[in-house]
Each structure stands twice: as structure tokens, then as C-alpha cells.
Chain A
Amino acid sequence: MTGKRGIKTLIGSFFRKRGQSGAMASNASFLVSLAFVAALFCVGVSWLLWRFPYHLFSDEVYNIVVVNAPESFVEFNEQTQPYRDQRAADYGDPKDVIHNFSNIYAFQYSYDGYGWTEFIYKETDALYDFVSFSKWMHQNDAYLTVVFPKDFDEQVNNRFNGLTDEKPEILTYYRADSLEYASMKNGFIEEYLAYYQSDIRADFGFKITSMTDSQLEEKPLVTSENNYGLKAIRESLSRTFIPILLFIILLYSSMSIGTNVIAGQKERGTFTGILLTPLPRYAIILGYLGGIVLKTLIPAISVATFSALLMGCFDIGAILALYFYIIVLEIFIASITILISVINDTVISAQTAFLPIFLTLVAVCVTCIQTVSERDDFYMFLPVHGQFFGIGDVLMSKPHVPGLLISSLATLILSAVIILITVRLLHSERYTVSIDSVDAKAVKRRLEGGKPTLWETVNKKYDDANFIFNEAIYPLVILSVYQLLAVIPVVVSYMRKAEYSAYIQGLADVTTVEEVMNKTFEVFSIFFKDPLFLSLMTLGYALIILTYFIHAKRIFKLKGFKDMAAVCGYPLGNIKHILSHYCLGFLFGFLMMTCTVAIMFFTGQITFSGFTLSFSGIGVFIFNLLMWFPQGASEEVMFRGYMIRSFNRRFKPVVGIIFSSLVFSAFHSLNNGYTPLASVNLVLIAVLFALIYLLTGDIWMTSAMHTAWNLSQGNIYGLQVSGNDAANSVVTAIYDKNASSLITGGAFGPEGGLATTAVATVCLIIVTILLVVKTRKAKKLS
């Protein structure tokens, strides 16, 4: 068989001394690797700094912090104390009765270290004082904090006397850095707390033993401080750092090898020779896939073996399962790499195209870190998630066999689909021939020259009704449809949570429209911390852009995708041009926001807290960051790229600029804390962006500015973005007591304040001057 021998030869070429894939490392790949090494180093150092000084050898975590303990609870504890003492005397060494949750009067819990549970009583006025809870747990070797309301006994009395139906709320916070703490917490709630409740009921003459009399809120609490102890170090290494390290090794080496294979060979002109051999296309793909997988596995397997032994996992079966996870994951990553490699013509472009996928997969890893303490078994069956958790489980010597099988099957099916698509693409001459003839160059030029000529001839024939629909109503419809679609699944999942009932109860007190709006924004600020919501919004914004492309196709009667993008303000083709505009725009947007913040800071309106990005919040933070990219881009397409351009078909440019700016401003009028000054500011910013569009001829720069503005506002400086609270930020701005909302913009965020007015006006003047100079130059030239 030609195929078999060919595949072997291609795989062999990866391992030849001066083989086909002879390393041609580009600067880009070097920089990417450098950045990752630096990032890993930072993560490692911060991890050590956080955890090392504390309780390195203390694993004896078995106490419980009780906050605002009601008299009845203290009494109950005192009553049960003799039983516990008796049991302690009987057994002497608690080692003999570990994990005994059954006998409530003599319960004790331990986590590897051994000891009898003690209650530590604390008082606080703040029910959500996580920092103190975490500190107390850390100081007292506790795994659980139980928070009672201050008037718990009174509330219980009222309830049993029929004065109210409301159940008093007990909050529990347990350490989330190990699955064991969660089960210890369950034992405490199901045994001890339930008996305590029945004890209260008994006082009133009832005899029911179940947790029905209080609203119980259980929350994992992960903070930088509470992650300590040798066992916890092993747990966080095996469940977080080693899987991430393996993912990065697999991703990075597949990227550098995979993009070098087909895209690199196209660049060097050696691919055509292989295409001309009587080797079937599937054999070419499989050969390269095999090569990438085998070559990448060398570092991955060695790191995996080393880590498994380091983590004390000496079981052959577990190590084999680990290898299996890695091989399956690598097949998946390699097939994506090959697909990207086939689509691109140069190593650089392939690596650029791989970057979003790289980031997405890393983001998936980050979501895995967050859910590790209370993950659903469902995740074990998903591709990527399954491998991430699976690797962690194996390293903790607790392999999850059904998860291994099902997630591997799902991953392999997905890979097979990608490979089939790739083979199909390799039959198309678009991805195989390096078109170099004069005509093809002309085609390329035509596509690159898709810069919108904004001063197009005015077309009076364009029908009025169509015009109003296409330019004024369409954006509204699109935006509302997609945002609605993004909200529905989140609302459904929210309805299953306890906060929901509290929210509905809160609605009963609402009387004015303003309060309804405030309530709505309250919910949205919760949603903005939900990765599901953020990813759906991201998708929605991306779909808005796509819909606009298709809309432009219909209106302007276009054919190719590149033309569609160009009409919407995104001329494709010249990568350097795009990158320079986008990066500059990003810088400008960031600088504008920084100036605004600086004005507020130096006029004493705000101060800053220190570094507020928590380790556990990084996942949401990344999702939030990712959302701003399509968010900025979609608004730019709607209000600048497409709207101004299509207005120019009928009117002078100034009409389009004014109309689009007014619509843009009106669009934000429903947001929280909207003021007349905010509307003026939004018009100013819209005009500024429109002029930049005229100046650069595309909306790459304004999209980046939009994104950078929102991103730095919400997620770097921690301010409100057009009335929306951002979830996590690097630092958090704190408004001064005497801050004037005229300058800061109040609840709408800086966009509603004079600081923004000042910055926008200065920028507007600069851009207007630039535009005038450019127009004069152009006139002189012509």
C-alpha cells in the first residue's frame, strides 16, 4: 500500500536529523514561548509567596468557626460536649475513628491530620466578610465557617410562633481547595446541624429531624490564604499546575511543529512536491498528524511521568491512564493545528491564526481551575475539560474510568471530524497552489484595495422606506435579538439558584420604574460574573458582526467575504496594515481612559485599592476580556463602519456622522445612571470615532480603541462601563466621600462625567486638525 508506506515516511521525516521539519523557528514563536515562560514563572513565584510561609506542615484542619453563634447553638454544643469528651477518652487517639460522621454526639473530622473538632466562636456585623472568615479559618485550622444571623433565635421564635413564614438563613463557607473538605462539610450539615435543628424543634414540641427550618446557603471559599498544607500543595499541583503545564506543552509544541509542517512547507515551496507524489491526501494528513503527535509526546510524556512520580503516583494503571489522556488530547490539538496549517500559507499567519485557539484552550483550563472544588461529573465527559480533570484525578491516584472512556471517545470523534474537513480542504486548489501568476496578484490587489471610498457618489434612487429600515431599525433589531438569545440560557440557569428567589421577593417592594431598572441592572451585574453569560454575549456580538456582513452583501450586492468585510469597514488582506491600526488603536484607547482616570485621581475624586484580581476570579476576568473584543467591534460595525458608509450613499458625510453619533448616544440611554452629560459625552466619543474612521479609512483602529476603552475602564481600573459593573479588575477605583458625580459620572461610570468630556474634546480637536491637514494634502496632490 502506497498510503501506509507514505505515512510512515512522512512520520519518519519528523525525526530525521536534518529532516523536513528542520527547525525554522520564527521570532514570533520565540516571543510567544518567552512570554509563556515568564507567565509561568510569575504564577509560580506568586503561588510560593502566597502559600509558603503558612503552615507548611500543618494538615490538621478539623475545626469549625461559628460566627454570631446564637445562644441555643452554644447551649447545644455544651450539651453534646460530654459525649465528645467521652468518645475522646474511649479512643484516645483520634486516628482510630477518622471520617466518622455517624455519631453526632461524638463527631470528629480530620483531614489526614487527626484531631477532635473544636468550635471557635466569633462575632461580626458583616455577613459577607469573607476576608475575616478566611483569616479565622486559617488561624484556627478550620475547614468550615458557619454564619448565623445575629437575631437567629428571635427569628426562630417568630417562625414557630407563627409570626412569620420566613426561614432564618444560615451561611456556610467551606474551604474549596480540596474535595475532602466538601464532604466533611456535608457530614457536618447532615449530621450535626440537622440534629441541632431538631433539638430546637423539640423545644417547641415538634419531632422532625431534617433541615427544613433554615435556609441553608453553602458556598466554597477560595482565597489566597486558605490554601495551605502539604496535602493541599499536592492537590493544587496535581489538579491545577501540572494539567496546565501539560496543556501548554502540548499546545505550544504542536503549534510550533504543526504550523511549520504544511504552512511552513508552503512558504518554502516544498509542499507542492509532496502533493505531486501518488500519495492520497488523507495519507499526507495522517502522516503529518502522526509526526506532530509523536514529536509532541516526547516532552509531554516525560513531564507527565516525572510529575506522576513526584506526586507519589506509582500505580502502572494510573500512569497508563495519564498517557492515554495526553495522547487523546494531543491528537485533538494536532488535528486543529493541521487544519490551521492547511488554511494558511506562511508560518507567521498560521501561528497568528492558532493564537485565538491557544487562548480559548487556556481559558478552558482556567474555568477548570475554578470548578475543581465543586465540579459536576458531567465535565468529566467533555473533551478538554475531561482531560484536564482526568489528569488531575490520575495524579491524585483517583482515576475516573467512565470519564476517561467517554471524554476520549468524544475527543476522538471531534478530531476525526476536523481531520475529514482538513482532507477535504486539501483537495481545493485554493489551499494547495501558491498562486503566483500575474493575474492572481491582480486579484489580491483588488481585494486588498477594498478601502471604502467614503466620498462615494450620492445615490438618490435608494428607496426611502428601505433606507430607514436598513439604517435605523436594523441595528436595534439585530442587537436586541442576539442579546436576548444570550440572556435566555443564563436566566434559566439563574432561576435554579437561591439568589433568584431572593430577587423575586425583592421585586415585591419595587414601586417605581427607576427601581425596576435598578433591579434589572443588579441582576445583570450578577450575570456579568457568569462565564456562560459572558461567552454567550461574546458569541452574540460576533454574530452581530457576521449578520452585518451578510446584510451588506445583500444591500451592496457583493460576492466575496473580503468585499463584505471591506464594506463594513474591515478591509482584509494587508495584515501589517491591520495589525498596526489595531495595535495603535488599542494603545490610544488605553491612553484615553488612563487620562480620564488620571484627571479623576488628581482632582481627588477617586483613590485606588491595591491589586484586587483574585486567583479564583481570573477565569471570569479572562472571559470578560475576551468579550470586549467582539463587543467593541460590533458597535463599530453598526454605528461607524456600516451606518456612516451607507448614509454616504445618499447624503454628505456630515449627515451620517451626526446621525450615527446621535443613535449611538441614544442607544446607551437605557443604561443605569444615564445623565444628559453622559449623552453629550457619548456623542463626542462617537464623533471622534467617526472622524478617525474617515482619517484611517477603516474601523480597525476605532474597534481597538472601543475595546481598549471599555476593557481598561472596567477590568483594569475597576470602574462602571456605561452603567454596567465589570466583574473583576486589576485594581479597583474607590470613589472619595466628597466625589462630585459631575466629574466622575456617578453610577454611569466615567463616561457620564466631565473628565471624559475633557479628554474626548482634546482628542476631537487633534483628530480634526489631522483630518484637515490630510484633506488639504490630498487636494494639493490632485
Chain B
Amino acid sequence: MIELIDVHKSYTKDKETIKGVSFEVHEGEIFGLLGPNGAGKTTLMQMIATLMKPTSGQILIDGLSADKNLLDIHRKIGFLTNEIKLDPMSTPNALFEFFAKLYDIPDSELRDRRDESFARFGISPFADKRFKELSTGMKQKISIAISLIHNPPVIIFDEPTNGLDILTSKQVTDYLKELRTKGHAIILSTHIFSVAEELCDNIAMLIDGSIVAQGTVDELIALAKVNTFEEAFFNIYVAHHKE
């Protein structure tokens, strides 16, 4: 579903932020992108979500490239990141309706979808409150509900559980697992090991703009010749990070 072929990105001529990244994410798979702050995770995610163009290389979503089929890709992806915010003065109901219309969801379907989605995350009691008055967890749940409003086959989540309490966090991870069983291709960036360990079928470690290791949790542990995933990350990081 998602295919990256030798993707490079540089903001300036003399420095590359992403130095040739290639990987594939299939239907029914959760792909984890793990790396320290500043490794280029967000840049990579933004490129996959078509917000930025790679300097060279190709990104294909379901075989489509953003150069030619930008709007078709927009119909296929759901992107969640901390940098996309929702209007603080609006209410969940109004926001849902607004985006549903922009995604051209028929009015007949709109209400059912909203009820279902709000019920799942327990948003319904807050549906008419202003967005800015809600708790962090509730805001994040609403953001998730709205980013998946058009039921996209490809889901791109940048740090979805960042700053959430354990209960909300579990709600989110459970939902992601459910989406996986429904056959969505999910790409997830995080720096929280437990989330990566629990959720991801495939993990790529991004350090200084290149993928230094890739595989399942067990494969990575084996590669680093240690016992836990956390230790594996540190070993690989020390081995590849040049300062």
C-alpha cells in the first residue's frame, strides 16, 4: 500500500535530512518508525502524507504518486500529527460535519458515521462543547476520529499516544489493532518502546535520516544480541550515531 523508493529530502543544499529511505507497508500491517528526536521522522511522515515533496526518490500510495494523483491520495490517507490542530472555538459535532463535507461524505451517511465514531471513543457527551475546553486525551481522540472520517485504507499516525494517560493510550492502541485486522495499512512513528513493541509488525529504526535497522521486534533484538527491545535500540543507536 505504501511504498518508498530511495527517498531523499534536504532543506538546504549542504545538508540532507532524509538520506535515501526505502521501505514498504502492506495491507493489514502496522509499520513502526522508531527514532530519537530530530532523526527525521516527522519530515518522512509529512512526505508520505504529501505535505512535502521528496528532493529525489518516489513515494507511492496504492501505486499512485502525489505528482499526478494528489487528490486521489488524499482520499486514501488519514494523517494524524501534533502539528495539525483543530479549530479551538469549534465543537466536535461541527468539526465532524465540516470535514465530512470537505471529504464529500453524503449527508445520509454522515450522521451514522459520527454516532459510531463518537460512541467508540466516548466523545458523545462532549459533542457540543468547545474543542479548547476539552482534555488532552479527548482532543486526541477527536483528532483521530476526524482524521479517519473518510475510512482511509492508509493510516499515517505521527506519535498518536504522545502525552496520553494509560487508559486513553490503550483505547488508541486497541483501535489501531482493530484497524489492522480490517486490512488497513498503518504507519506509525513513535519514540515509546512499549508501544512499538506491542503494536508493530515491522519496525524501522531511523537515525540521522537513514534507516539503520529494520525487522520485527525479535529480529532487532537478535541483531543487537541483547535481551530486551530497549537495549537493542540503545545498542543500535550508539553504533550508528555519529556526532
Contact = CB atoms under 8 A, between A and B. Distances in A.
A429 B51 contact: yes
Given A268-B87, A276-B49, A429-B53, A13 B98 contact: yes
A442 B77 CA distance: 30
A524 B220 CA distance: 81
Interface in A397-443: 429, 432-440, 442-443
A20 B84 contact: no
Contacts of B83: 269, 272, 434, 436
Given A270-B87, A278-B71, A438 B79 contact: no
Contacts of A272: 51, 83-84
A82 interface: no
B75 A278 contact: yes
Nearest to B72: A278
Given A19-B90, A272-B84, A9 B38 contact: no
The winner among B84, B94, B99 for most chain A CB atoms within 10 A is B84
A512 interface: no
Interface string B71-90: 11011010100011111111
Contacts of B79: 276
A6 B101 contact: yes
A273 interface: yes
Contact of A276 (B12, B15, B74): B74
A439 B15 CA distance: 8
A273 B99 contact: yes
B22 to A, nearest CB: 21
B38 A277 contact: no
A436 B85 CA distance: 14
Interface string A7-24: 011100100101110100
Contacts of A484: none
Contacts of A6: 101-102, 104
A2 interface: yes
B110 to A, nearest CB: 12
Interface of B: 11-12, 15, 17, 37-38, 40, 42-43, 46, 49-53, 71-72, 74-75, 77, 79, 83-91, 94, 98-99, 101-104, 130, 146
A270 B85 contact: yes
B102 A279 contact: yes
Contacts of A277: 74, 99, 102-103
A275 B146 CA distance: 14
Nearest to B103: A277
Nearest to B38: A438
Contacts of B89: 18-19, 22
Given A18-B130, A433-B46, A439-B17, A270 B74 contact: no
Contacts of B85: 268-270, 273
Nearest to B17: A439
Interface in A253-304: 268-270, 272-280
Contact of B87 (A22, A434, A442): A22
A448 to B, nearest CB: 14
A578 B176 CA distance: 49
A275 B83 CA distance: 13
A776 interface: no
A16 B90 CA distance: 9
A279 B103 CA distance: 7
Contacts of B103: 277-278
B90 A18 contact: yes
Contacts of B71: 2, 278-280
A435 B51 contact: no
A433 B94 CA distance: 25
Interface in A222-275: 268-270, 272-275
A122 interface: no
